[in-house]
Amino acid sequence: MQKTNINVDFGNILKKTRETRKMTQEEFAEFCNVSRAYYGRLERGENSITLDLCNKISQALGISIAALFEDLP
């Protein structure tokens, strides 16, 4: 069984969401009210996301927090 990294998996979800909206990392970070550098680290799976930031992102996108996690393996 292959071990997965949940931070990388979640970062891929964020990247897919951003690309679907045709936004740059900078635009999406500003949209979610976080720094571009921090958002980039989240997208690459280098940092763990907080529930507070999940809430900010879901509110900015107009979706539930649970929807952010639907595609996690």
> How high is the pLDDT of residue 38?
95
Residue 9 CB neighbour total at 10 angstroms = 14
* Of 30, 69, 31, 27, nearest in space to 49 by CA: 69
Complete domains list, the chain, with CATH: 6-69 (1.10.260.40)
The pLDDT tens digits of the residues spanning 21-70 come to: 999 999 999 988 899 999 999 999 999 999 999 999 998 888 999 999 99
pTM for the model: 0.84
